[in-house]
Structure 1
Amino acid sequence: MTKQERYTDIGIIVILLLIVFVPTTILFFADGGQIRGFNEDQNNPGNPLNTDIGGYIFVPVEEDIVPIYDDHEIVQIELWQMPVRDALLMIVVSSFAYIPPSVSKIISFIYLTSGLAFIILYYKISGKKRSPNSRREQIYQYICENPGKSQQQIADAMQISRGSLKYHLNRLQDSDEIHQKMHGEYPRYFPSHKGISDKEKVLLSLMSEEKDHLFFQTLLNNSGITRKELATTLEISEATVSWHLSRLENYSLFSTEKSGRELHYTLTPETVAAYQKIVSEELPDQDATQKNKE
């Protein structure tokens, strides 16, 4: 979101707040349910008012006065005697002529809560309308294209500070666009809309680390491999092999079969199927990228 878009949203929210709070305040603090000049109660005129103007004293008249207009006496008629249009107008207007104190406070509460709900809804909707070139949108698109990355990997790829990245990641999680899953000691980030299974999330996290991916590939290509054979193939110590195996064992990625004194390690069918699904979904994207380069 650009600064101009942010300022526009702030301005709209301020206007909405004024629209909500001003009428609410008037209704809530109306004296006796009356707003002077707007909803006078004819049955509660208040204290008599004596006014001295130019030596003339004006006092309220309590006797009945017959109004006359153009030398014709104005005759009071019933509502049902009025034309339909005038009757409907009278019904609508008279309903607002007086608002009892209790009703005015109820109306102000309903108006306030509905107004605040509308403002919150607008804020959430406007927060999702991001510019395609905004930093948050770029981070979101990167996670969609590269699920399972850690904060450091995203920061390095996007060339952004960890503090700024963490802020955007939190906002994206608040809007339920991404979610995180712990892998070892660090969280990995995934798009919420792709429906990635827990097994696939583990594999994507492994594949994002070069050494973990190489170890997994060795198990995949050498079903029934032993601990010693893993150490020889990868040119690492058996202690390092044990460390990798213990991590994979936490996610139930392989099964073991004992033959003599040796344990043979084989990836489970569910793990292989999840890996093949990931690879099959990634290949079309890579082919499309290659075609675009050509």
Structure 2
Amino acid sequence: MRIGSLIRAGLILIIIFGTILTVCTLNGDDGYRVKKSPFFYLYHPSALLHPFGGGDEHEYIVTPGHLPLEEGDVVDDSGADKQITFWELPLWIQLSVISGAVFSTVTLLKCLPLLLGKILARGTNPKMQEIASYIAENPGCMESEIAHDLDLKRGTLRYHLSRLSSDNRIQKFKKGKLKRLFHITYSKTEEQKVLHLHKKNENRKRIIEIITERPGITGKELANLLKIDKSTVHWHIKELHKDDLIDFKKNGRYKMYYPHVSILSDDVD
């Protein structure tokens, strides 16, 4: 498609070039000898319709104005004899201009739908739209999840994500070493996004819910309620505390856990 467009553009340039091209050859000190180029007739055969040939008798000399006049030279600086309209020009000139204009217009009209199609198609690629919809339905997803669920190669996925990002349709959020993706319509604060990402883990989500419902609960009680190992609970608690989502107070040998104000104030669901 791109090569075809370049060829058409080249043909238009050739037509324009052939229309205006003239051959100027230096003629000693007299000035410049001007005549129509053979290219003119090649690209505008209608010019052959005019009643005169292209011989030397129809050439003329253009000399710089600062050169001294020679004996017998006549200078006419009275201006044009008269003004004529386009339709009073010789037939070959009219046909050349009209045929060039028609050809250029037809070519432009033929290429215009292709150009408009490319512009309108930008950002509406079906696969790209599918990726954007997936991100909207799964806020905080990762590249690996999208590639697996939509059966996409990583290179193809990253190309579409780059296009979506440049079009401001998605936003990237870095959490630790991982990049999470949110749709542009997901208008939450950074703290709310962090909380949402923690809640994507089912055990961590339950820990947040239990601590919110039963502030002051201990790690041992959490492990018993969730029926998971105490060390696993401790790991989840550590990650939540690192992001300022929960607080704790020591009570002898035990730690009592409380929800941080961010959990109580942020509504992410």
TM-score by length of 2: 0.58
Q: Equivalent residue for 1:47?
A: 31
Q: Equivalent residue for 1:156?
A: 148
Question: Structure 1 263/58 Cα, relative in aligned 2: closer, same or farther at 3 Å?
Answer: closer
Q: State the secondary structure of the residue aligned to 2:140.
A: coil
Question: Alpha-carbon deviation of 1:183?
Answer: 2.8
Q: Between Structure 1 and Structure 2, whose CA radius of gyration is higher?
A: 2
Question: Structure 1 234/251 Cα, relative in aligned 2: closer, same or farther at 3 Å?
Answer: same
What is the alpha-carbon distance in structure 2 between the residues aligned to residue 143 and residue 253 of structure 1? 25
Percent identity over the alignment?
Answer: 25
Question: Structure 1 221/252 Cα, relative in aligned 2: closer, same or farther at 3 Å?
Answer: same
Gaps of 5+ in 1: 1-6, 27-34, 68-74, 87-121, 280-294
Question: Structure 1 264/143 Cα, relative in aligned 2: closer, same or farther at 3 Å?
Answer: same
Gaps of 5+ in 2: 36-53, 63-68, 86-115
Question: Structure 1 156/175 Cα, relative in aligned 2: closer, same or farther at 3 Å?
Answer: same
What is the alpha-carbon distance in structure 1 between the residues aligned to residue 57 and residue 157 of structure 2? 77
Question: Structure 1 179/13 Cα, relative in aligned 2: closer, same or farther at 3 Å?
Answer: farther
Question: Structure 1 232/37 Cα, relative in aligned 2: closer, same or farther at 3 Å?
Answer: same
Q: Equivalent residue for 1:198?
A: 190
Q: Equivalent residue for 1:64?
A: 74
Question: Which letter maps to 1:278?
Answer: V
Q: State the secondary structure of the residue aligned to 2:136.
A: helix
Question: Alpha-carbon deviation of 1:244?
Answer: 0.9
Match of 1:232 among 224, 238, 245: 224
Q: Deviations over 1:80-104 (max 9, x none)?
A: xx99xx9xxxxxxxxxxxxxxxxxx
Q: Equivalent residue for 2:268?
A: 278
Q: State the secondary structure of the residue aligned to 1:188.
A: strand
Q: State the secondary structure of the residue aligned to 1:64.
A: coil
Question: Alpha-carbon deviation of 1:258?
Answer: 2.3
TM-score by length of 1: 0.54
Question: Structure 1 179/18 Cα, relative in aligned 2: closer, same or farther at 3 Å?
Answer: farther
Q: How does 1:3-42 map to 2 (within 5 A)?
A: 7=1, 10=2, 14=6, 37=22
Matched, 1:76 2:58: no
Q: How does 1:111-130 map to 2 (within 5 A)?
A: 126=120, 128-130=122-124
Matched, 1:169 2:155: no
Q: Deviations over 1:226-284 (max 9, x none)?
A: 1111122222222212211121122111122222332211111222221xx222xxxxx
What is the alpha-carbon distance in structure 2 between the residues aligned to residue 218 and residue 166 of structure 1? 38
Question: Alpha-carbon deviation of 1:178?
Answer: 1.3
What is the alpha-carbon distance in structure 1 between the residues aligned to residue 5 and residue 124 of structure 2? 17
Q: Equivalent residue for 1:263?
A: 255
What is the alpha-carbon distance in structure 1 between the residues aligned to residue 268 and residue 55 of structure 2? 94
